[in-house]
């Protein structure tokens, strides 16, 4: 098959002028393929991380809004209708919306042409969402491309991707002549001086502070040494922290007395200017701190330009610089950096030999060569799909449209929130000041903001709400008792010295979620401090629900700080307590933890499911799944739709089940527990049960009445025997919004499992 038979190629990924490594890579790949194969029409579909987008060049034909799942599906329609022959996708978890970047699956599942995926990150220890996305993405891709041998090994051994499907194509580099650095130093004011260079977007994981600490030692041997740090601060870091990191580096240089020897260029440079900087350097340094970096574009560029390199042993550097092609030093070791930089600067023959070897090997990495390899991969992708009939796009059925999730509206959430916190109650939609506030609701509200952040619903408004709820919990914590107070009057006076056990558990759950899942710069550190102070008290409680809430919070906390012994020990203790009360209470006819089904019931099995899943306890997982299966049956038979246990009497062993008043928190808890059961088992029936419980809000209930109010974004307070309780208070509204957020996260994660349209 001739190359000309591929008539149209779409490149999907970040794109210049967005400032990130993927954007630069996509741009360079687009140009290299378009230039080498002028008969093929090439265009770009970028992902925007801000609503206003970017001032893109003409090759950009369609833009994707990062947090909007529907935007990805519209992009698939565009690519299909444009008669695209091959799609080339640049994959990095952080550039797409949804859990672990799962929104991109919504695009790929609907494509009618083959696509090739280049993996810029391949993790050795992925979390469940990352593994699921990677596995499904690899399954959907006609071919996958990695840039290092280690990445290919990971794909085969960890993700079980067939080796025959994987192509190894080194990171492309510009084709530049081999030059004497001294010819280019004068334009940067460093003529006659030995020069080391580090470039790339600045962030704390780059380890530049360790190279700065190495400079005083280097100056003892080379007094006129110059260290150039080229690159703007990473946009995500600027958004969260401003220029704090860069300023800390400049302050460190002043404190070390090396300000005249360190030159900071605070800008994102295009390829032509970047090449000039690289040419002027005698030694290139990458003092990165994260060993799990499978690809580094800056390393590849410098190596291919023929530079002697000193680097920490992250994965790409270990492979590229092996066998004397560069020098590796331990992580965070200024003395080693100084020693090896001095050794290279003081040994001209060794440095020259290293540079020539790097330049010679780099000729196989130039973009023109990469373009040829990618075109060959595109051809293999098309050959692999030529016998597979493409499915035509179909209009969604009425049933499919009814199953779509409602739009997320935060109007009522904001209406119930003032500068103190979230008010407990409302009369219809009007906040009821007389009832004041409670920790229970503000904990749920804080947890919601983290889920919304994960959904890409961030922004100043959401950050402000999260800060209000966090400040409420901070004020609620009583340092004398190490417990949270619960009720606060509208006059800002606490109504108790110690709140309920359950409010303490819910607060701990919210704090753990902030630690484990928020990407804000400030919130996780604040939450970790309060989590640590509040954790011991949960072990002194007697409420099984408090134990369950605590376990859910500990699960989230350990997602970031898995080595915390106190949290791990608390998890084991609380898990054992729930198992113990089950063993003492359960019978074949009543497999439950207590002799009553009361409120927030599904949280008990959910806690054991999550604990068993994370700590490897088969017994905890078995009990959690068994009790949840029984609870779901109790809440769905014989009416075949979800019926929450009524709060007007609940359901005592041996007695009649109360049908009313049905509370939204029961539907919310059941949705959440069933989703965790699915994550633990991959059993699709749990998704059906979660959907059934969620549809209770939307009218699939005993009265056939919708509790969710789409005009306000609020939720009615309960389902009574003959009517809906029209008040839209905090607990009910949060129950719906939390359920919608969890269902939306599931939707984004599993978008690829939906049949192709």
Read off the pLDDT of residues 68-119 as tens digits, 9 standing for 90 and up: 888 998 999 999 988 899 999 999 988 999 888 989 998 998 898 999 999 9
Note whether 142 and 388 are within 8 A (CB).
no
Q: How many residues does the chain have?
A: 757
403: pLDDT strictly greater than 80: no
Strand 226-230, strand 195-199: pairing? parallel
What band does 575 get if pLDDT is binned at 50, 70 and 90?
very high
CATH 3.40.50.2000 domain span(s) along the chain: 3-172+368-384, 181-364
Domain 597-749 has CATH 3.30.1330.60: no
The CA distance from 733 to 731, in Å, is 6
Q: Worst-scoring range by mean pLDDT, 378-382, 435-439, 628-632?
A: 378-382
What band does 200 get if pLDDT is binned at 50, 70 and 90?
confident
The arithmetic mean of pLDDT across residues 690-704, rounded, is 92
Tokens for 296? 């580094």
Q: What radius of gyration do the chain's Cα atoms show?
A: 29
Domain 181-364 has CATH 3.40.50.2000: yes
The CA distance from 594 to 631, in Å, is 12
The arithmetic mean of pLDDT across residues 529-554, rounded, is 97
Which helix H or strand E contains 271, and what residues bound it? helix 271-280
CATH 1.50.10.10 domain span(s) along the chain: 597-749
Residue 351 confidence (pLDDT): 92
The CA distance from 599 to 497, in Å, is 24
∠ Cα 472 473 479 (to 5°): 120
φ, ψ at 718 (rounded to 5°): 170, 165
313: pLDDT strictly greater than 80: yes
The arithmetic mean of pLDDT across residues 661-690, rounded, is 94
The string of pLDDT tens digits covering residues 135-174 is 999 999 999 999 989 999 999 999 999 999 999 999 988 8
Note whether 99 and 454 are within 8 A (CB).
yes
What band does 633 get if pLDDT is binned at 50, 70 and 90?
very high
Of the ranges 39-48, 266-275, 381-390, the best mean pLDDT one? 39-48
What band does 750 get if pLDDT is binned at 50, 70 and 90?
low
557: pLDDT strictly greater than 80: yes
What band does 234 get if pLDDT is binned at 50, 70 and 90?
confident
The arithmetic mean of pLDDT across residues 213-222, rounded, is 96
∠ Cα 11 13 18 (to 5°): 120
The arithmetic mean of pLDDT across residues 510-533, rounded, is 94
The string of pLDDT tens digits covering residues 248-269 is 999 999 999 999 999 999 887 7
Residue 388 confidence (pLDDT): 40
Which 8-state DSSP code applies to residue 657? P
The CA distance from 73 to 506, in Å, is 37
What band does 184 get if pLDDT is binned at 50, 70 and 90?
confident
Give the class (CATH, top level) of 3-172+368-384.
alpha beta
The arithmetic mean of pLDDT across residues 723-728, rounded, is 92
3 state SS of 125: coil
Residue 509 confidence (pLDDT): 98
pTM of this structure: 0.60
1: pLDDT strictly greater than 80: no
Tokens for 314? 């992250």
């Amino acid at each position: 098959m001739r190359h000309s038979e591929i008539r149209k190629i779409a490149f999907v990924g970040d794109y210049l002028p967005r400032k990130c490594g993927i954007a630069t890579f996509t741009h360079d790949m687009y140009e290299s393929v378009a230039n080498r194969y002028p008969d093929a029409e090439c265009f770009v579909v970028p992902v925007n991380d801000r609503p206003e987008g970017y001032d893109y060049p003409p090759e950009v034909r369609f833009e994707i809004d990062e947090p909007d799942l529907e935007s990805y599906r519209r992009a698939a329609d565009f690519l299909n209708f444009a008669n695209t022959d091959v799609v080339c996708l640049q994959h990095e978890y952080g550039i797409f919306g949804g859990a672990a970047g799962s929104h991109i699956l919504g695009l790929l599942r609907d494509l009618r042409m083959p696509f090739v995926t280049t993996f810029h990150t391949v993790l050795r220890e992925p979390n469940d969402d990352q593994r699921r996305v990677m596995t499904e993405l690899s399954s959907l891709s006609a071919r996958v491309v990695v840039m290092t041998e280690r990445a290919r090994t990971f794909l085969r051994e960890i993700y079980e991707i067939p080796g025959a499907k994987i192509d190894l194509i080194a990171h492309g580099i510009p084709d530049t002549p081999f030059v004497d650095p001294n010819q280019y130093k004068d334009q940067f004011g460093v003529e006659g001086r030995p020069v080391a260079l580090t470039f790339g977007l600045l962030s704390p994981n780059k380890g530049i502070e360790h190279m700065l600490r190495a400079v005083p030692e280097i100056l003892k041997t080379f007094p006129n040494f110059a260290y150039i740090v080229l690159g703007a601060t990473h946009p995500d870091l600027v958004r969260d922290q401003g220029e704090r990191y860069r300023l800390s580096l400049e302050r460190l240089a002043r404190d070390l007395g090396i300000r005249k020897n360190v030159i900071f260029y605070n800008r994102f440079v295009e390829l032509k200017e970047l090449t000039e900087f690289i040419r002027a350097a005698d030694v290139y340094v990458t003092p990165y701190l994260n060993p799990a970096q499978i690809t580094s574009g800056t390393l590849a560029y410098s190596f291919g330009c023929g530079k002697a390199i000193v680097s920490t042993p992250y994965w790409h550097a270990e492979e590229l610089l092996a066998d004397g092609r560069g020098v590796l030093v331990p992580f965070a070791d200024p003395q080693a950096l100084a020693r090896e930089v001095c050794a290279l600067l003081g040994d001209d023959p060794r440095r020259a030999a290293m540079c020539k070897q790097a330049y010679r090997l780099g000729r196989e990495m130039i973009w023109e060569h990469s373009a040829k390899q990618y075109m060959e991969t595109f051809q293999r992708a098309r050959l692999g799909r030529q016998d597979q009939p493409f499915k035509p796009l179909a209009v969604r059925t009425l049933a499919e449209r009814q199953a779509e999730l409602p739009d997320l509206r935060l109007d009522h959430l904001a209406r119930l929130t003032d500068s103190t916190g979230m008010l407990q109650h409302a009369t219809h939609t009007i906040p009821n000041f007389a009832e004041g506030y409670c920790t229970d609701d503000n904990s749920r509200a804080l947890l919601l903001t983290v889920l919304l952040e994960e959904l890409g619903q961030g922004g100043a408004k959401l950050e402000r709400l999260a800060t209000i709820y966090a400040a409420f919990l901070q004020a609620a914590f009583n340092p004398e008792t190490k417990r949270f107070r619960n009720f606060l009057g509208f006059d800002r006076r606490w109504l108790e010295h110690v709140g309920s056990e359950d409010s303490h558990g819910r607060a701990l759950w919210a704090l753990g979620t902030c630690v484990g899942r928020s990407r804000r710069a400030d919130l996780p550190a604040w939450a970790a401090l309060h989590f640590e102070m509040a954790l011991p008290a949960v072990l002194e409680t007697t409420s099984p629900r408090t134990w369950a809430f605590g376990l859910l919070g500990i699960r989230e906390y350990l997602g970031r700080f898995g080595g915390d012994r106190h949290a791990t020990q608390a998890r084991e203790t609380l898990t054992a307590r729930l198992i113990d009360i089950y063993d003492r209470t359960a019978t074949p006819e009543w497999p439950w933890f207590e002799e009553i089904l009361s409120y927030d019931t599904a949280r008990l099995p959910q806690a054991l499911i999550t604990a068993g899943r994370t700590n490897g306890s088969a017994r905890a997982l078995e009990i959690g799944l068994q009790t949840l299966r029984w609870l779901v049956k109790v809440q769905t038979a014989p009416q075949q739709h979800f019926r929450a246990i009524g709060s007007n009497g609940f359901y005592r062993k041996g007695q009649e089940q109360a049908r009313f008043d049905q509370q939204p928190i029961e539907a919310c808890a059941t949705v959440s527990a069933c989703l965790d059961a699915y994550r633990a088992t991959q059993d699709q029936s749990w998704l059906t049960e979660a959907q059934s419980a969620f549809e209770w809000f939307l009218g699939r209930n005993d009265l056939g009445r919708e509790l969710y109010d789409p005009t306000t974004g609020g939720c009615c307070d309960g389902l009574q025997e003959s009517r809906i309780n029209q008040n839209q208070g905090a607990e009910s509204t949060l129950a719906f919004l939390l359920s919608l957020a969890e269902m939306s996260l599931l939707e984004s994660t599993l978008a690829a499992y939906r049949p192709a349209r």
